[in-house]
Structure 1
Amino acid sequence: MGSQPEPEGVPLDLLEAKRELSQRRLASSTMPPRVWVKKVRVEDAVRQSDNHLHAVGVGRKIVAGKPTETLCVRLYVTQKVARGLLPSRSQLPASIAGLPTDVVEAAPAFLAAQHKCTHRRLLEQRPAQGGISGAHASIQAGTLGARCISRKAEEQGMWFVLGNCHTLADFGAAPTGSPILQPSSNDGGTVEANLFAELHRFVPLLEGAERANQVDAAIAKLSSQASMDTGVCTAGQIQGTAIASNGMLVQKHGRTTGITVGVVDDASVDTIIPLDRENPTKVALFVDQIRILPRVALFAQPGDSGSLILHKPGNAALGLLFACPDNGSYAYASPIRAVLDSLEIDLG
């Protein structure tokens, strides 16, 4: 897979510093399961302090709870501990290559594919549209991204639906041709009554903190062009693609939370994501992803994986949502151009 376009408005020296720190700190991560779950007592947090870093990115330095104009390398931890309480080996750097850093407390993210909700986005729709319930028959729930077409000559005249590898391909375990349901199984979908598409191809998820993933993406083949419209539920028609930048206003429509509005908080974050909630030591490293904060309350919750991230206004596609913490306080998305290039597709 080729290199991704650099996010706009982020100095190259900051990106290089982020990547250096990411390779140094995240690649050696061995976070025990308890670190992914919740905050702990200060004395326990100090004892576990080598294992609290779960993402490295670039954003505005936060002072007294508010973002400043200073861009910095961000270090995202499950729990902040006063620097004076930490042993020197566990202290995160205050700067790197002369550039400032900022330690940000944030709940860890999980692949967002489960839970129930209500409303029409949970029901069968024909033609379907982006932003509604749909996933592999083995997955509890996910969100359909958008209709797409292939760049491959031998696949002209075929239509596909875009989603995540973990929602459409069962984390890469599903065989080609296996059933995609709309709605998802948690929403009453069955192979007999709600077969919507068949898994066509996916980008394998590379396990381990030492191997980098650029996207969580897959496509499934539709039976016909008429099976799915080109738009996204509530948000409307997609207007091309664009590169995310810090401060950009965005929206998404997902199976669980419906339409929500957020802002790009970090346009180039590297993060470790658990692949199995029952075994959080089974992880994958994702690099150069997009981190989004909600404008109000929450942006995404489990079941919203596969949602297309759209610029607001304008509706240019920016990314494909794949992970979020259970509290909905932020979400991660893979840059859309990397998604399209990796699968050799275009939206449409």
Structure 2
Amino acid sequence: MRGPTGGQVPDTARQQALSDFLRPQNPMSNVVGFGHGVKWTDGQPTGEEAVLVFVTQKVPESMLPERDVVPRQMDDGTPTDVVAVGHVSAQRQRSQQRIPGQRAQESQQGQAEGSMAEQLAPPLLEEMPGLQQAGPQLLTRKLRPCPSGFSVGNVRITAGTLGSVVYDFLPGATTDPPAPGIGVPGKYYILSNNHVLADSNRAGIGSPIVQPGPFDGGVDPQDRIAILDRFVTIQFAPQIPLERHNNVVDAALGTVSFQDATRDQYFSGPPRAWRRKANVAVGDLVKKTGRTTNLTMGRIIAVDATIDVNYGTAGTARFRDQILTTNISAGGDSGSLVTSFDNVALGLLFAGSSVVTVCNHLENVRSLLRVEISEQLA
């Protein structure tokens, strides 16, 4: 295990958390997941490693049956801390009626609430070296070449966010990551979520992807930017019981012409490198540019979270090995690339609530889709 700013739930505590907090039969009331982090007391981080137990809302112990009370510590002695995360759902733009002739935009959700979110809040933009105050931006318009951070979506959905432009592992490479300069990428892709580019497993390979997304006025074929190439299938309940889920990414690719999209993150520039998940730590500052909330910053709360995510009509999916941050997103931001302040790619945003945002580790996205976002490893 790493120090108090990073690491994973010990195996014994993880197994106990799965069996006690997310038990298949009669699960604990309000519990939606758990992860590794630090314990908080009186609104302050103590630095003491803890198993964070995620609940939709905190309820006084006196109002809970004994079976639903989270123990003060795990059987191996690891302390616990209960964290209210609200109702976590996939964050593509929700279906709403558009006013004819206008681009529709969803108002930003409430800022992170509670003592943990307040204490982990990032500094103001003007206090951050190398960044300037960002005013409201219109990221729902059509643009070619399209920067990352703009509205995009399969013709079957509303709208999400174009995360980045990636390319196949270079042919002939013998290292991971491949050595720079070996071979020529066979294809270029836009990267976003499965539920943005593939409609939660339901879209066919080769189906059109438009920019901006349909909710923002994009229509096929005149606004087509890509076609669906491949995606990682998401397991949903009730079709598959939650305890059997093995979801680690919500990710998909659309084949794009080189000249139609760019690796530049709107306002922030291109990712200069990517980071292995072992080096992503609790407390790290992160940022993203997304279709709805534009440029936002936050801090990492957990780096190996297991959490249940609501996908509406598609069902509920349990994800493991996820990054949780303070709230940096709203509906329509799904697919945003999450980076460090110096543009090192860390994760792919896909879900959240008014309190937290949930992201896939970029290393998992990269390995499962077999694509490269940058030749540099940081």
In structure 2, distance between residues paired with 1:119 and 1:335: 27
TM superposition shift of 1:156: 3.7
Partner residue of 1:10?
6
Tell whether the 8 Å contact from 2:5 to 2:283 is kept in structure 1 after alignment: no
Give, as a single letter, the amino acid of the residue that structure 1 aligns with 2:307. Answer: T
When the two chains are superposed, the root-mean-square deviation of aligned CA atoms in Å is 2.3
1:170-194 Cα distance to aligned partner (Å, 9 max, x none): 0011110001010001110001320
* Whole-angstrom CA distance in 2 between matches of 1:7 and 1:30: 34
Cα pair distance change 1:65/1:285, threshold 3 Å: same
Unmatched tracts of structure 1, length 5 or more: 32-49
> Is the 1:7–1:245 Cα contact (8 Å) retained in structure 2?
no
- Of the structure 1 ranges 163-172 and 75-84, higher mean CA displacement relative to structure 2 is found in 75-84
Q: After TM superposition, list the pairs within 5 Å mapping 1:52-63 onto structure 2.
A: 52-63=30-41
Residues of 2 paired with 1:240 and 1:7: CA distance?
A: 24
> Which of 229, 237, 253 lines up with 2:270 in the alignment?
237
Which position in structure 1 is the counterpart of 2:346? 318
Alignment map for 1:270-289 (pairs within 5 Å): 270-276=306-312, 282-289=315-322
State how 1:77-88 maps to structure 2 within 5 Å: 77-88=55-66
Deviation for aligned residue 1:19: 2.4
Name the stretch that deviates more: 115-124 or 284-293: 115-124
How many aligned positions are there? 314
Structure 2 gap ranges (5+):
95-103, 106-135, 173-183
Contact 1:134 1:182 in 2 (8 A): yes
Q: Distance in 2 between matches of 1:289 and 1:60?
A: 16
CA distance in 1, matches of 2:251, 2:232: 6
Task: Give the equivalent residue in structure 2 for 1:71.
Answer: 49
Seen in structure 2, the aligned counterparts of structure 1 residues 62 and 173 have a Cα distance that, compared at 3 Å, is: same
Residues 181-228 of structure 1 show CA distances to partners (whole Å, capped at 9, x for unaligned) of 100011100013201100000000011312120111010001x21111
Are 1:262 and 1:292, in contact at CA under 8 Å, matched by a contact in 2? yes
Q: Deviations over 1:244-280 (max 9, x none)?
A: 211111100000000001111111111001121x58x
Question: Measured at CA, do residues 246 and 29 of structure 1 come closer, stay the same or move farther in structure 2, by a change above 3 Å?
Answer: farther
Counterpart position of 2:283: 247
Superposed displacement of residue 64, structure 1: 1.4
Q: Partner letter of residue 91 of structure 2?
A: A
Provide the rounded CA distance (Å) in 2 between the counterparts of 1:217 and 1:98: 36
Cα distance change on mapping 1:128 and 1:330 into 2, 3 Å: same
1:18 and 1:184 map into 2 onto residues whose CA distance is: 43
1:119 Cα deviation (Å)?
3.9
Deviation at 1:87, TM superposition (A): 2.0
Q: What does residue range 160-239 of structure 1 map to in structure 2 within 5 Å?
A: 160-208=189-237, 209-210=242-243, 211-222=245-256, 224-239=257-272
The 3 A distance-change label for structure 1 pair 71 and 289 is: same
Cα offset, 1:10, TM superposition:
3.3
Distance 2:203 2:294 in 1: 27
Specify the alignment match of 2:14 in structure 1: 19
Return closer, same or farther for 1:114/1:92 CA change in 2, 3 Å cut-off. Answer: same
Moved over 4 A (4+): 5-9, 152-155
User: What is the aligned partner in structure 1 of residue 117 from structure 2?
Assistant: none
2:143 counterpart of 1:125: yes
More helix by percentage: 1
Amino acid in the other structure paired with 2:90: L
SS state of the match for residue 79, structure 2?
strand
Question: Is the CA contact 1:182–1:194 (under 8 Å) kept in the aligned structure 2?
Answer: yes
Contact persistence 2:346–2:361 (CA under 8 A):
yes
**Post-superposition offset of 1:86:** 2.2
2:361 is matched with which residue: 329, 332, 335?
A: 335
State the TM-score, normalized to the length of structure 2: 0.78
- 1:139 alignment partner in structure 2: 157
